[in-house]
Structure 1
Amino acid sequence: MGVRAGGRVSAGILAAVLVLCGAATARAQLPGAQLPSYQDPSQPPERRAADLVARMTLEEKASQLLNDAPAIPRLNIREYNWWNEGLHGVAAAGHATVFPQAIGLAATFDEPLMRQVADLIGIEFRAKHLDARHRFGGSDWFEGLTVWSPNINIFRDPRWGRGQETYGEDPYLTARLGVAFVQGLQGDDPDYALTIATPKHFAVHSGPEASRHRDDIRPTARDLEDTYLPAFRAAIIEGGAGSLMCAYNAVDGAPACANERLLGHYLRDAWGFDGFVVSDCGAVTDIHSPDRHAYVATPEAAVTVAFRAGMDLICGGPEDGEAVVRAVRDGALDEAVVDRSLVRLFTARMRLGQFDEPSRVFPDITAADFDTAEGRALAQTAAEKGIVLLKNDGLLPLGEAPGRIAVIGPNADSLAALVGNYNGDPSHPVTILEGVRRRWPDAQVTHVQGSGLIDRALVPLPAGALCLDAACRTPGVRVERFAGRDLSAAPVQTGQADGVAHAWSGRLESGALRYSGYLTAPEDGDYVFRYDANGGYRVFIDDAPVVDAWNIDWRPSIAAGAVRLERGRTYRLRVEAFQRATSGDERLLWSPPSDPGGAQAEAAAREADLVLFVGGLTAQLEGEELPLSTPGFAGGDRTSLDLPPAQQRLLERLHATGTPVVLVLVSGSAISVNWADRNVAAILQAWYPGGQGGDAVARILAGDVNPSGRLPVTFYRSVDDLPAFTDYRMRGRTYRYHAGPVLYPFGHGLSYTRFDYADVRTGRATVRADQPLEVSVLVSNVGARQGEEVVQLYVRRPDVEGAPLRSLAGVRRVALAPGERRRVSFTVDPRSLSVVDDAGVRRITPGPVELWVGGGQPGGMAPGRAAAVRVTGAAELPR
């Protein structure tokens, strides 16, 4: 994804030099010489872009329609790769401020904080871009200013692996946070955009991952307008997003990137969007591929229907640009359509200042404004505000913790558990284990992993267990190195080693390794094997495959396999592996049948005064199109909502010791911890809390920070409570349409203090269809601790058939000292009082409106007060 073909970088540097020389020549023109319009910063960006596009040849135009756009030295156009990611910080660019994963940011329910977070991310993008320009003259992968974030799809089903990238299941909350994120990324400078934000994936996209390239989703007219489009509408109309990404899936028979109704009727006509549309990566190929949409038959036809519909930029390869040239030459695609897209693209580059003197464009931002202490402090604050206290029997807060703490679980000391996906690398990461140790330096803190994410805890295979010969006369293993990944070829080097392990040299080494030897089983039973690696691997016992993770992509795999062995018997062992990263030691891991890791964890729990079990998931299990199939998980999605069985078994063993247990869940989605809810003393949902997540979790546990996060998704009791994953109808889904009991409702979150609500006021008993509604309530802190309450306003239209059970229509955070009270006010706009009918028309109809203002939804444990008004008159609202 970020690795370029051999020789391409040096060519890019040469082109950059030519560009810079050309720019210097242009600046050195004689006094009075007139610059071309596209080089004149006093001209409007659209006019400059149109002038530039008019000077290009067809082949040059086609090259600029690809995400990896080359330099055109004769026109002083630098190379530019449009692909960059900023879901919760600058991604894939080395060290950066890593904020909580998007779902964790959503759990703050804090629109101003989201704007502040996005402001800082935008600045870091500029700082990184400055450094990149110094080296290349243009921008390579993940170094540009067009940011393919935020993901504002609706997290309609907790099985979706990419739901962690979203702001949850509610259209209103997603819209408000999406607008704030877009505005923060793009900034408010009157002359230049800080970055260009790209809301995605338009539209009606939320899994399954395995079929996303061929799914044809046919939402009801009501669901399309009521659930799937509002956040995109807000991001464009209110947020002013300069870009948008179309999805892989088809909608109502037409691929999203060739869908005239979505890209024309809604985006351009109804919402007035004047930015550019980029395809999801490979989505144009999906349009014509016979095993995908097969919407048209050829690449030329695919680019033709996509550009005609309103797509402007292909995330793809050179072959797509060649198809554009052929389509124009053959008369299928009008060159004016190509020009339209190019003007949109170069208008964006003009808005970013890429054709102007650097001294004019955000001169106060320097390359040093990146990965700062201030950024890490903000990331910690965001994590603290998003952590949700799901359950508390009074054990928390710990204050001065017990003297002996056992920190157990697969996510306790895991960097992957902090960062989620689409992430940068925190330069000062604090795992939860480290956070506990930092918060309670005088406590005896014992760490035992106890369990893997999906298997028993795995440890390195002891070198003494391996032999070169079946009789075990010579310890060690045979090692063969191969020039490529074809292990049927002759090895280029052979030798032997003490064990199955390899330390990489810090550079990307070509080829593969094969280890072979003999293993004598120390006990009877099922053994689990995995190769801890940054590449593909295979493990064989007596030539039978135990685990095959050879065809993984660039992400590390956690694939493991089990095999039954007999005590005292000797088996042939073979391990084959290749590298995909430039660093990271690799080694063969196993777990004997007696599960020594679990036994160590249980012993540590018996010796402790408190157990912190840090479990859940990581992006190795839930994420984008993962090459993973294991019980409970498939292709990045989940097939079960339960805690993985290996973790559940260990959690029950720890509870049985009698030592109090606090469960810290790390995940990007809801986990059905029904047993834990009944049995453990306290449960925290930490999400993927970002680089400083360990300090945030520890401060919540201690009571230094009063938890105030709220659930942006429903925690169901079981996957059996949901409709089929492939069913995109909203009936029975999310808090708005699911009428059954749940484990924890949307909006739920406990505090270490108590709040009370009184004196709801609406100002009047009736409201006209075209009028906003003013609502206020008196909120009091009646507990003994300072805390922040997340005041939530819900609206219900009880007399309208098909209306949601209730809908969020307002959120306010309020910080209150013990005994303090404050009046909190909302303005409910007419759109929040409307209902979408079966035909997809949004209307405000006369009749009663039920209101609830509280710390969560009505009917649960959250305090709150009800009120009612009546709407008079009717109105039809625009799409």
Structure 2
Amino acid sequence: MKRPLALLFGIIALGLVPATAQQTPSFPFRDPSLPMEKRIDNILSLMTIDEKIDCLGVPTAVPRLGIPSYGGSEGIHGVVQRGGGNQHRTSITTTQFPQPPGMGETWDPELVRRAAAVEGSEARFITQTPKYDRQILMLWGPQADLARDPRWGRSEEVYGEDPFFNGTMVVSFIKGLQSGSDDSGTKYWQAAALLKHFLANSNENGRTSSNSQFDDRLFWEYYSVPFRMGFLDGGAKAVMASYNAWNGTPMAVNPILKSIVIKDWDVDVISSDGGAVTDLVTQFKRYPTLKEAVVACLHAGINQFLNQYKSETREALKDGSITEAEIDALVRPKFRVTIRLGLLDPPDTVPWSKIKDSPEPWNTDEDKAVSKQMALESVVLLKNANSFLPLQKSSVKSIAVLGPLADSVHWDWYGGFPPYAVTPLQGIKAEVAPGVAVNYAADNTNDAATKAAKSSDVAVVVVGNDPTCGPDMAHAWNQDASTRPCAVPSDGREGRDRESITLEQEELIKQVYAANPRTVVILISSFPYAINWTQASVPAILHMTHASQDEGTALAEVLFGAYNPGGHLVTTWPKSLDQLPPMMDYDIRHGRTYMYFKGEPLYPFGYGLSYTTFEYS
């Protein structure tokens, strides 16, 4: 989403009244033995029209009846509770896993399920413990889009470029989030997954009025596959419509929301994205008034607005362009989610209700173990000439740890605050033998990096992108900032595509390598880079994505051989932009992904080495 997070989370906070906070009479909707639809019939019969309109927003709550909201929170690689907003809330630390491409690079669906189970459990804890009492049981994730082009600014949010691969990871994430690390057999969900962004939303520049053009075959065989798998195989019941149009029709009003997503895939909640309804008037010029845009969205099946359109909805009711019966039909499926989460049933019948009085889960050994395992499995060995790695502790007496990312762990737009964060420098210091000199320099100002490299047995250069596009961007999340070019051309983010895939910091690598050929490059990045010189020159290269709280620990254990890297790339890494079709060409058959890529890539989809040697016989 592109709208201010402070406003959005203020909206989410409205109407979040736990059922236990009020003395409410026993209504039929509280009887678990009744069929779900009968319970919802009772709810709707008791609601006023204003309460129904309120439930077209994120808080699907009826405080008067003691019906709580399940709320919402970002959560593609960890629960996001950074604080702020209209309520001036404090931040809550939560377990933070690598960005989704890194989770994908594990090629381990079961581990992805375990990570999502951690996230779901932490969301339950934050919702149910009196210390926090924030209703965040619908997590806005996983991201089921596809990384069709390495320039896409939000490819840092998706698992990879292959539809079946992405769908497999999406299904695992949903099952972990909703059913826990192992399916306990309970009918209740731990948390609810909301997939995003449907459909073909893989360009940032101009996304609020852009048109993704491709045929029905690509719809069925490529772009819709992870979503379909997520709904039919994973059991998700919620999705967010994307900003863009498909073949000329904006997704917020696209007929396929009803004809396929609701009818064929049995989805209950279809959310607009932030500001997308207004975009129908101001960007697409499709409707003359906001009221008409709101009505069109409701008729298309949207039943959750991220912004408030109460006055427009009331006006539409008054002039007959929408009816109360139609609003009932839109609100009804949202209460199915409420019931599946067990929010209307006695707590002793809902296994997840016990997650509230335990120690904060992100501080437990169990959650930390999943985080570390995910970090370890996500490391990809891109090059290892002459078995340069692993480094032998006994022979390394001094090591230079260099580069702008050597002593930091970067968060991204959709990451939270972790309980701890181990930088590469900290991880290496903890891993080396006692007495080893660790020489650090962030850059080569006054030859600091080259001097450190020359005086060390081995040099480790840690480089990559900045997921927030620089420190100024981290606090400038508004419409102007969200479309402003990043200061570094190869950086990207939500709202802005990358202008280059060249690693600007490769010059630092060249300087360090000239000073000490025993150089290891660690590329921590959200995206592919055309590191052609580095691949041809330095003896060893590792890749990892951002945002893992165990980043430094995992990298150090891989560097020194405590862990054998087994990660594999999830996208095709080109050698140059010349190998790619135009950004807005959505027909992947023109040269996108490993299926249709033309020429020789720098690294193919699925690439990844190991310290182990193999031979076929």
TM-score norm. by structure 1 comes to 0.63
Is 1:687 aligned with 2:545?
Answer: yes
Correspondence for 1:745: 604
User: Any idea what SS the aligned residue of 2:459 has?
Assistant: strand
Question: Using the alignment, how far apart are the partners of 1:104 and 1:729 within structure 2?
Answer: 26
* CA deviation profile, 1:217-253 (whole Å, cap 9, x unmatched): 2212222222101111111111110211111111122
Counterpart of 2:46 in structure 1: which amino acid? R
Question: Using the alignment, how far apart are the partners of 2:10 and 2:463 within structure 1?
Answer: 45
Question: Using the alignment, how far apart are the partners of 2:582 and 2:31 within structure 1?
Answer: 56
Equivalent in 113, 116, 119 of residue 117 of structure 2? 119
Counterpart of 1:706 in structure 2: which amino acid? N
Counterpart of 2:601 in structure 1: which amino acid? V
Cα deviation for residue 134 of structure 1 reads 5.7
Question: Using the alignment, how far apart are the partners of 1:601 and 1:610 within structure 2?
Answer: 12
User: Any idea what SS the aligned residue of 1:199 has?
Assistant: strand
Equivalent in 345, 349, 365 of residue 355 of structure 2? 365
Q: Where do residues 92-131 of structure 1 align in structure 2 (5 Å cutoff)?
A: 92-93=81-82, 94-131=92-129
Cα deviation for residue 191 of structure 1 reads 2.8
Correspondence for 1:75: 65
Question: Using the alignment, how far apart are the partners of 2:397 and 2:390 within structure 1?
Answer: 15
Contact 1:107 1:388 in 2 (8 A): yes
Cα deviation for residue 254 of structure 1 reads 1.5
| Larger relative contact order (Cα-Cα within 8 Å, sequence gap ≥ 6) | 2
Cα deviation for residue 154 of structure 1 reads 0.5
Counterpart of 2:127 in structure 1: which amino acid? H
Equivalent in 539, 544, 566 of residue 708 of structure 1? 566
Contact 1:700 1:706 in 2 (8 A): yes
Correspondence for 2:238: 243
Question: Using the alignment, how far apart are the partners of 1:66 and 1:293 within structure 2?
Answer: 23
Change (3 A) 1:687 1:351: same
Question: Using the alignment, how far apart are the partners of 2:439 and 2:206 within structure 1?
Answer: 44
Correspondence for 2:499: 639
Is 1:321 aligned with 2:310?
Answer: yes
Cα deviation for residue 72 of structure 1 reads 3.9
Q: Where do residues 830-869 of structure 1 align in structure 2 (5 Å cutoff)?
A: none
* CA deviation profile, 1:29-71 (whole Å, cap 9, x unmatched): xxxxxx32222222233322232122222222111111245x6
Question: Using the alignment, how far apart are the partners of 2:339 and 2:245 within structure 1?
Answer: 32
Structure 1 unaligned segments of length 5 or more: list them. 27-34, 452-594, 759-879
Question: Using the alignment, how far apart are the partners of 1:190 and 1:612 within structure 2?
Answer: 49
Cα deviation for residue 267 of structure 1 reads 1.3
Correspondence for 2:487: 630
Is 1:205 aligned with 2:206?
Answer: no
Counterpart of 1:259 in structure 2: which amino acid? N
Counterpart of 2:610 in structure 1: which amino acid? S
Correspondence for 1:169: 161
Larger Rg: 1
Q: Where do residues 56-455 of structure 1 align in structure 2 (5 Å cutoff)?
A: 56-68=47-59, 72-78=62-68, 80=69, 82-93=71-82, 94-131=92-129, 139=134, 143-187=135-179, 188=183, 189-207=185-203, 209-261=204-256, 263-271=257-265, 273-289=266-282, 292-317=283-308, 320-361=309-350, 362-367=352-357, 368=359, 370-371=361-362, 372-393=364-385, 394-400=387-393, 402-416=396-410, 419-442=411-434, 443-450=436-443
Change (3 A) 1:68 1:282: farther
Which stretch shifts more, 161-170 or 211-220? 211-220
* CA deviation profile, 1:521-552 (whole Å, cap 9, x unmatched): xxxxxxxxxxxxxxxxxxxxxxxxxxxxxxxx
Question: Using the alignment, how far apart are the partners of 1:6 and 1:755 within structure 2?
Answer: 51
Question: Using the alignment, how far apart are the partners of 2:250 and 2:29 within structure 1?
Answer: 35
Aligned residues: 582
Cα deviation for residue 25 of structure 1 reads 4.5
Contact 1:608 1:659 in 2 (8 A): no
Contact 1:192 1:352 in 2 (8 A): yes
Q: Which has a greater percent of strand?
A: 1
Q: Where do residues 588-607 of structure 1 align in structure 2 (5 Å cutoff)?
A: 595-596=445-446, 599-607=447-455
Structure 2 unaligned segments of length 5 or more: list them. 83-91
Question: Using the alignment, how far apart are the partners of 2:211 and 2:290 within structure 1?
Answer: 20
Q: Which has a greater percent of helix?
A: 2
Which stretch shifts more, 161-170 or 626-635? 626-635
Question: Using the alignment, how far apart are the partners of 1:395 and 1:21 within structure 2?
Answer: 62
* CA deviation profile, 1:744-784 (whole Å, cap 9, x unmatched): 100000011123446xxxxxxxxxxxxxxxxxxxxxxxxxx
Question: Using the alignment, how far apart are the partners of 2:593 and 2:534 within structure 1?
Answer: 23
Cα deviation for residue 73 of structure 1 reads 3.5
Question: Using the alignment, how far apart are the partners of 2:511 and 2:232 within structure 1?
Answer: 54
* CA deviation profile, 1:153-204 (whole Å, cap 9, x unmatched): 0100001111011010011100111111111111044331111101110111
Cα deviation for residue 16 of structure 1 reads 4.3
Question: Using the alignment, how far apart are the partners of 1:7 and 1:682 within structure 2?
Answer: 47
Q: Where do residues 726-805 of structure 1 align in structure 2 (5 Å cutoff)?
A: 726-730=584-588, 731-757=590-616
Cα deviation for residue 381 of structure 1 reads 0.8
Contact 1:92 1:425 in 2 (8 A): yes
Counterpart of 2:371 in structure 1: which amino acid? A
Change (3 A) 1:282 1:397: same
Question: Using the alignment, how far apart are the partners of 2:614 and 2:244 within structure 1?
Answer: 45
Contact 1:128 1:370 in 2 (8 A): no
Counterpart of 1:88 in structure 2: which amino acid? H
Q: Where do residues 434-583 of structure 1 align in structure 2 (5 Å cutoff)?
A: 434-442=426-434, 443-450=436-443
Cα deviation for residue 212 of structure 1 reads 0.9
Contact 1:349 1:355 in 2 (8 A): yes
Q: Where do residues 28-67 of structure 1 align in structure 2 (5 Å cutoff)?
A: 35-67=26-58
Contact 2:458 2:516 in 1 (8 A): no
User: Any idea what SS the aligned residue of 2:263 has?
Assistant: helix
Cα deviation for residue 135 of structure 1 reads 5.4
Contact 2:115 2:370 in 1 (8 A): yes
Which stretch shifts more, 146-155 or 322-331? 322-331
Contact 2:278 2:290 in 1 (8 A): yes
Cα deviation for residue 359 of structure 1 reads 3.3
Counterpart of 1:640 in structure 2: which amino acid? S
Correspondence for 1:612: 460
Contact 1:662 1:680 in 2 (8 A): yes
Question: Using the alignment, how far apart are the partners of 2:246 and 2:253 within structure 1?
Answer: 10
What is the RMSD of the two structures over their aligned residues, measured on CA atoms?
Answer: 2.4
Contact 1:46 1:344 in 2 (8 A): no
User: Any idea what SS the aligned residue of 1:629 has?
Assistant: coil
Counterpart of 1:422 in structure 2: which amino acid? Y
Counterpart of 2:417 in structure 1: which amino acid? D
Cα deviation for residue 369 of structure 1 reads 5.0
Cα deviation for residue 670 of structure 1 reads 0.3
Contact 1:146 1:197 in 2 (8 A): yes
User: Any idea what SS the aligned residue of 1:445 has?
Assistant: strand
TM-score norm. by structure 2 comes to 0.89
Change (3 A) 1:420 1:703: farther
* CA deviation profile, 1:424-464 (whole Å, cap 9, x unmatched): 2121211111000000142100111016xxxxxxxxxxxxx
Contact 2:469 2:488 in 1 (8 A): no
Question: Using the alignment, how far apart are the partners of 1:402 and 1:718 within structure 2?
Answer: 36
Counterpart of 2:551 in structure 1: which amino acid? G
